[in-house]
Amino acid sequence: MKIYSDNVNRFSEQKHAYARQLSYISLLRLLLFVVFGWFLYASFKLKFQGFDLIWSLLAISGFVVSVFWAGSVKKKITLLQQLILINENEIHIETGKASFLDNGSKLSPVKGFAVDLNLFGHHSLYHLLNRTGSRTGKEQLAAHLAKPFVTSADIRNYQACVLELSGKTTFRQNLLAHTLLLKEEESLQELTSKRGAEGVSLLQNRFWSALAAVWPVMGVLLLIYSIYKDTYQWLLTFCILGLAILSFVFKATSAVYAQLSKRGYLFGQYAICFQLISQEDYKHPYLLKKQADINEAAHAFRKLSKLVGLFDLRLSLFSFFLNGLFMHELICARACLKWNQQYQMAMDNWFTTMGDMELLNSLASFHFNHPSFIFPEPIEDRLVIKATAMGHPLMKTSTAVVNDMEIGKVSKLHLITGSNMSGKSTFLRTLGLNMVLAQSGAPVFAKTFVFRPVRILSSFHHIDSLEESTSYFYAELKCLQEIIQSLPAPVPALVLLDEVMRGTNSKDKHDGTALLIKKILQFSGLTFIATHDTELGILAETYAGSVENFCFESELTETGLHFDFTMRKGVAQTRNATYLMQQMGII
């Protein structure tokens, strides 16, 4: 918190300093323009005698320099504003406020454990982790959480990268700031798509290739001749002829321009993002490989940014002369096509690499912000999950209730009973979210955490579907069917079930759940079932060595109902539904 607070103060001071500098530059720019006007007027008045014209040219040159200088200062101010916002956001998150960054709600799968564990949406795990600014980064973070690693090697690899990047606060914040400045990315799909349309390919045939090489040379020579002879008739005729010839490919050049128009700033930002990644000093081989994968990216996008800037001159007042004399539009369109052909094959990999670095950046920021969280130990030799002092990763460490748990050594299915609001569902989400973090290469909320990487399968809550004429109960059955059908897969599963069969009567629910447990036990995997049905506890005797009972209890005292949210061995003995209904005036 102190680091973030100090950053806000430091960046704010720098921003104010640049703001003052910008105001001075604006004053200087106005002064230079007035000086330019004065000396230009004087040179005309004195019929270009003396040095007035030279002074006016120097003044306008200074004016142009001041314009670029002001633009550079404005970019620095914009970057500092983003850095201030990023650090203030970290402080807000710590104080319980929502992050301004994307919560991933639009990237969430429609079903599965991502929905049951609330991985996406407001105050979700994605929302807490997200430190991405580009569309690719957001999508890769979402895909990584929805389908985390299932091999120890991949997990350990990411853990090492996260550990290294967590110490690079400046790099991480600069990368996030610059990716946030991308803002739009509608052009990304157009940029990575191949341009092979017939009209566009016309620009690259021999005739237009030769014309693009010869015509500008002829235009320069004719311009020099016209100035020397002080006659411009032939130059004007040449210019009009050039425009007439260029009209035959105007549709093709416009098609190329439409994909890139006014996006020089965007491509410049991409260049900065790639440069940040390529210039950072890494130690881990995976990060070094990522760095090598984008070795040319920064240079390529700087080149494209300049090309697009030149291409944008087609909209200026000088386009008539630029196109007529030098075939400016044809040359720019061909240069852009050449750029696309040169880097087309590498672009997908470049953006994937940047997205991967943003993903690691998010996990590294999470590690930096939670120094008490530990990197779990993935194992392959036995199917077990064992944790001590495990807490909910979305809760504050100072207030969260922690629990110890172990499954796989004594039994592979835990029945968790308890009264309403006692903590059963929260425990399932606590375990599920920590497993997602563990298999993503991130630290977890625990003192120790050993686990075998698994596929996470869940069934928590379902809704009626009018479109599919699906009832709540049938929707749950379909989900359970998918879980059972996927259990024989080579990678073992962690199954999390919360109050299954709740859409039918109690007898049917009890019998159905018992048979479901019998079915699940036929497969290799680990299972947690939270239920109100305490009578299911007898299954621990029926399937001794496979099923264990655990519970969450509540206590009714003179001061009211109390929960300690601590998991114990055994079957729950307390109930609180009647008491709660009385307290709320329902009965």
Domain ranges (residues) in the chain: 1-97, 187-369, 377-583
pLDDT of 209 higher than 90: no
**Backbone angle region of 121, left / alpha / beta, with phi > 0 → left and psi within -120 to 50 → alpha:** left
Phi/psi for 505 (5° steps) reads -70, 165
Residue 183: pLDDT band by 50, 70, 90 thresholds?
confident
pLDDT (mean) for 325-334: 90
Q: Which of 12-26, 44-58, 469-483 has the highest mean pLDDT?
A: 12-26
Q: Under 8 Å CB-to-CB from 417, ≥6 apart: which residues?
A: 424, 530, 531, 532, 533, 534, 536, 537, 549, 550, 551, 552, 571, 572
Phi/psi for 423 (5° steps) reads 120, 10
Question: What are the pLDDT digits (tens) for 155-178?
Answer: 999 999 999 999 999 999 999 999
Lowest mean pLDDT among 182-191, 384-393, 464-473, 543-552: 464-473
- Report the candidate in 491, 549, 545, 543 with the shortest Cα–Cα distance to residue 516: 543
Q: What percent of the chain has pLDDT over 70?
A: 91
HSE-up (13 A, CA, CB side) for residue 354: 29
Chain centroid to Cα 98, Å, comes to 17
Confirm if 492 and 455 have CB atoms less than 8 A apart.
Answer: yes
pLDDT (mean) for 333-340: 89
More confident residue, 185 or 68: 68
pLDDT of 467 higher than 50: no
- Report the candidate in 285, 275, 273 with the shortest Cα–Cα distance to residue 158: 285
Q: Hey, what are 297's tokens?
A: 């990216």
User: 3-state DSSP call for residue 377?
Assistant: strand
Q: What is the pLDDT of residue 168?
A: 95
Residue 196: pLDDT band by 50, 70, 90 thresholds?
very low
Question: What are the pLDDT digits (tens) for 447-456?
Answer: 999 999 999 9
**Does CATH number 3.40.50.300 belong to domain 377-583?**
yes
Q: Hey, what are 288's tokens?
A: 């070094």
Question: What are the pLDDT digits (tens) for 471-499?
Answer: 677 788 888 999 999 999 999 999 999 98
Q: What is the pLDDT of residue 565?
A: 85
Integer Cα distance of 524 and 491 in angstroms:
9
pLDDT (mean) for 550-561: 74
